[in-house]
Structure 1
Amino acid sequence: MTEVVGAGSARVPPYVLVTGPEEILAERAVAQTLDELRVTSPQLEVVRVYAGGYEPGALALHASPSLFGGATCVVVHDLDEAGEELQGDLLRLLGQEPAPDLTLVVQHRSGQRGRKVLDALRGAGARVLEAPAVRTDRDKSDFAAHEFRRARRKATGEAVRALVEAVGKDVRELAAACQQLIEDTTGVIDEQVVLTYHGGKVEATGFRVADAALAGDPGEALRLLRHAIAVGVDPVPIVAVLAQQVRQLVGVGSAGRGRSGDIAREVGMAPWQVDRARRTLAGWTAEGLATCLQAAAAADAEVKGGGRDPVYAVERLVLTITGQHTRHQGG
C-alpha cells in the first residue's frame, strides 16, 4: 500500500495537501506535519477550520499575522465537503504570496468538489501526503505489516493474517491492535502471539473454518463453524469467506509457476497468501475446486434467503469442501 510520505528533516513548505479517504492515515499525516513544524516553532499556534458551518472571511482572519508574532498552522478539514465560500477564500489565499510563518494544511478525502483548490495547491508546490483507502484484506495486511516495520518489529505473514482476521473490520482497531502487540510483547510476533491476545476472535471467524475445510478436516471445520455460530457470527460472511478462499486457490493454481510477488499482483493477493495457497493446493484437484465453487454459489443463495436453514446450508458446504479434498478421494 502507499505509505503516508513525509519530508524527513526538510522544511515544511507553506502549503500541504493531505489527500485520500483513510481517516487514520490522514490524521497521522496532519499530526506528522505539526510535529515537524514544532521542531523549529515549539509555540506553534494551530487553527482548525471545518467545512461544516464555515463562515465567509474566517480563513483570511486566521491566516493574518498574529499581533504577538510566532508561527501559525491553519488546518482545513473536509475540503471535499466545502461550500463556495470556503473554496473561494482558499483560492484567494493561494493567489497571494505565502505569508511568513504561516502553513496551510488542507485535507481532502475524495471526489470532484474542491478540484480548483486542489489544482491551485499543487500548482503552488504543495507537499502532497497520501492517505489511500484500506479496504481489501490485502490492503489491511499491508497496513498491519507496515505498522510492525515502522516500529522495527518483525511479524510473520501468518501473524499478520491472524490479526487481520481478528480485528480487520476497522482500520483504526487494527492499528490499535498492532500497537498493543508492539508495546506488550518482545521478539518476533508470530501467529501464536496473536492467538494469545485475540484467540477468541480469530477462532470464531470464517477464515479458521475455511482453513480447516480446505485442509480436508471435517471434524475441526465443523467444530469451528459451530463455535462461530454460537458466538453470533452470521452464516452469510462464513460462506463468503469459504467461497473467497476457494477462488484464491483457483486463481493461484491457474497462475502457474512464478515468483510469489508477481503472482500476488496478478491475482490481487499478498505474497504470503500466495505461498499459503500453494501449500494448500497440494491437496486439491481442479475438478474438486470446481465442485466447491458450485457448492459455494448454491450455499450463498440459500443463506441469503433462498433456503430454509442457513446453518444447515453452510454445514453442508463445509462437508462438501472437505469431501473434495484428495485425502477423501483416494489421493
Structure 2
Amino acid sequence: MARKSRSSSTSSALSWRSVQLAPVTLLWGSEEYFISRAKTRIRAQFMERYPEADRVEISAKDYRRGELAAASSPSLFSTSKIIEVDQLSSMSEDFLHDVMDYLQRPEQHIAMVLSHNASNSRGKKLVDFFRSSESFPFVECKPLKTDREKLEFVSQEFKDHRKTIDAKAIQLLVAATGADTAELASACSQLMSDAPDVVTEELVHQYYGGRTEVTAFKVSDAVVSGNSRLALTLLRHALATGVDPIPLVGALAARMRHIAKVYGSRGNTTVLASELKMAPWQVEQAQRDSRRFSEQDLAEIFRVLAEVDAQLKGEGTDPLFALEKAILTMSRS
C-alpha cells in the first residue's frame, strides 16, 4: 500500500477518542486507560465489519521471525483477524524487521493494533514511520498531567454522552478522583448512569463528599470567597474526622497560584487560557477571585502558605494552629 506523508501543517498525532479503523494503527503513550479505550473502539469497528473475525495477541518482546506472517494468514475458520501487538518498547529486532516489511504490503481483512508505552526510543524507525504517514494512524495515549487536561477530559466525556455537567461540578469531580484517569472515567460513567441530565456540584458532593480532596476543595472555596467562619468550620470538621492537612494546603496553594497567574490581566479569556495553560472557565473564576486581593495580600498569603507547609512537615510545634491562622489570614485579606 502506498503511503502519503503528512503535511507540516497537519498534526502528527490523532486522538484516541476519534481513531478510525485502518490496516495498522500505532497507539503511543503510557496511559493504559486510553490505550484500552482506543483498542475497544477499533475492535468494535472491525467486528462490525467482520463479525466472525479472530483476535490474535502477540508480544513484540518475545517475537520470533515469521510470526506476523503466520498470524495474518487465513485460518481454518476465518480470513479476517484483528492482531494486537503489545510491548513494543521492548520489541525484538525480528519484530521490527517483520513489521516494517508488513507495512509495505498490509493484508486485506486484517486490522493490526500496535501499542508502545513511549518509555524509550526503542523502534524509532517504526515510530517515525507512523508519525509521517497519513495511511497509518499514530494515536497519542499520554497521561492527563495538568488540571486543565483533566477538566477538559471530564467535559468531553459528558459531551460525548449528551449529558451536562456544571463547571463547579467538574472541578469537584477532578479534585475527588485524584490523578488516576481510570478512576476519573469511572466516576464520570457512574454519574452519567445514575444522575439526571444535568450533574451539579451538590450531586458530586453527595457521591464523593467524604474524600479528603473534596474537603480541600470546599475549604479553598470558602477561603477565596472571604467566608472565614465557614472555612474554619470546614477545616475543623475535616481535621476532627481524620483528614490529612497537607492536601488541604496543597489545594489552597493551587487555587492561589491560579489567582496570581491572572492577577491584573485583561483581554480575551480564551487567549489568556492558552497562554497560562488553564481552562477558559478557570481563568474567569480566578479573575473573579482576584478582585478580593491586593498584591500585598497575595505576597503575604504565599508567605503564610510556605510557613504552614513547613510546619506541617515537621518544622513547627503546633502545625494545626498555624493552619487555622493561615486560613484566617487568607480569608480575611
Q: What's the TM-score once normalised by structure 2's chain length?
A: 0.87
Q: Report the 3-state secondary structure (helix = DSSP H, G, I; strand = E; otherwise coil) of the residue aligned with 1:308.
A: coil
Which one of 22, 39, 49 corresponds to residue 31 of structure 2?
A: 22
Shift of 1:30: 1.0
Which one of 280, 286, 296 corresponds to residue 277 of structure 1?
A: 286
**Amino acid across the alignment from 2:51:** P
Distance 2:86 2:146 in 1: 26
Distance 1:53 1:311 in 2: 55
**Amino acid across the alignment from 1:178:** C
Shift of 1:180: 1.0
Relative to structure 1, is the Cα distance of residues 56 and 169 closer, same or farther in structure 2, using a 3 angstrom cutoff?
same
Distance 1:83 1:206 in 2: 48
Relative to structure 1, is the Cα distance of residues 291 and 193 closer, same or farther in structure 2, using a 3 angstrom cutoff?
same
Distance 1:309 1:83 in 2: 58
Q: Report the 3-state secondary structure (helix = DSSP H, G, I; strand = E; otherwise coil) of the residue aligned with 1:99.
A: coil
Q: Which runs of 5+ in 2 are unaligned?
A: 1-13
Distance 2:25 2:233 in 1: 53
Q: Which residue of structure 1 lines up, in the alignment, with residue 246 of structure 2?
A: 236
Shift of 1:294: 1.2
Relative to structure 1, is the Cα distance of residues 51 and 318 closer, same or farther in structure 2, using a 3 angstrom cutoff?
farther
After alignment, is 122-131 or 258-267 more displaced?
122-131
Q: Report the 3-state secondary structure (helix = DSSP H, G, I; strand = E; otherwise coil) of the residue aligned with 1:98.
A: coil
Distance 2:151 2:92 in 1: 37
Q: Which residue of structure 2 lines up, in the alignment, with residue 109 of structure 1?
A: 117
Distance 1:120 1:67 in 2: 33
Q: Which residue of structure 2 lines up, in the alignment, with residue 67 of structure 1?
A: 76
The aligned runs of 1:133-282 (5 Å cut-off) are 133-201=143-211, 204-254=214-264, 256-282=265-291
Q: Which residue of structure 2 lines up, in the alignment, with residue 288 of structure 1?
A: 297
Q: Which residue of structure 1 lines up, in the alignment, with residue 11 of structure 2?
A: none
Shift of 1:161: 0.7
Shift of 1:176: 0.8
Q: Which runs of 5+ in 1 are unaligned?
A: 325-331
**Amino acid across the alignment from 1:274:** V
Relative to structure 1, is the Cα distance of residues 97 and 204 closer, same or farther in structure 2, using a 3 angstrom cutoff?
closer
**Amino acid across the alignment from 1:102:** I
Check the 8 A contact 1:72/1:101 in 2, yes or no: yes
Map Cα deviations across residues 79-138 of structure 1 (whole Å, 9 max, x no partner): 1233434334433433x5112222211112213122122233456631222223212111
Map Cα deviations across residues 249-280 of structure 1 (whole Å, 9 max, x no partner): 111114x1122222222222211112222222
Relative to structure 1, is the Cα distance of residues 295 and 133 closer, same or farther in structure 2, using a 3 angstrom cutoff?
same
Task: Report whether the alignment pairs 1:312 with 2:324.
Answer: no
Task: Report whether the alignment pairs 1:99 with 2:107.
Answer: yes
Distance 1:278 1:149 in 2: 26
Distance 1:158 1:123 in 2: 40
Check the 8 A contact 2:178/2:213 in 1, yes or no: no
State, as a whole percentage, how many aligned pairs show the same letter.
36
Task: Report whether the alignment pairs 1:37 with 2:46.
Answer: yes
Q: Which residue of structure 2 lines up, in the alignment, with residue 4 of structure 1?
A: 16
Check the 8 A contact 1:19/1:128 in 2, yes or no: yes
Distance 1:219 1:158 in 2: 21
Check the 8 A contact 1:148/1:155 in 2, yes or no: yes
Distance 1:239 1:117 in 2: 46
Q: What's the TM-score once normalised by structure 1's chain length?
A: 0.87
- For these two proteins, the number of residue pairs brought into alignment is 318
Check the 8 A contact 1:303/1:310 in 2, yes or no: yes
Map Cα deviations across residues 6-37 of structure 1 (whole Å, 9 max, x no partner): 356xxx32111112222211111111111111
Check the 8 A contact 1:202/1:208 in 2, yes or no: no
Superposed CA RMSD in Å reads 2.3
Distance 2:96 2:224 in 1: 54
